A = this chain, B = another copy of it.
Amino acid sequence: MAEDYVELIAELIETRGEARPVEIAERLGVKPPTVTKNISRLKAAGLVRREPYRAIFLTDAGQDLAEICRRRHRVVVAFLLSLGIDEETAERDAEGIEHHVSGTTLEAFERRLNQK
Q: A residues 84-114 with Cβ under 8 Å of B?
A: 84-86, 89-90, 92-93, 95-97, 99-102, 104-105, 108-109, 111-112
On chain A, which size bracket covers the interface? 20 to 34
Number of copies: 2
> In the assembled complex, which residues on chain B have CB atoms less than 8 Å from the CB atom of A102?
89, 92-93
Q: List 30 A-B contacts (CB under 8 A).
A: A80-B105, A80-B108, A83-B105, A83-B108, A83-B109, A83-B111, A83-B112, A84-B108, A84-B111, A85-B104, A85-B105, A85-B108, A86-B104, A89-B102, A89-B104, A89-B105, A90-B105, A92-B102, A93-B100, A93-B101, A93-B102, A93-B104, A93-B105, A95-B100, A96-B99, A96-B100, A97-B97, A97-B100, A97-B101, A100-B100
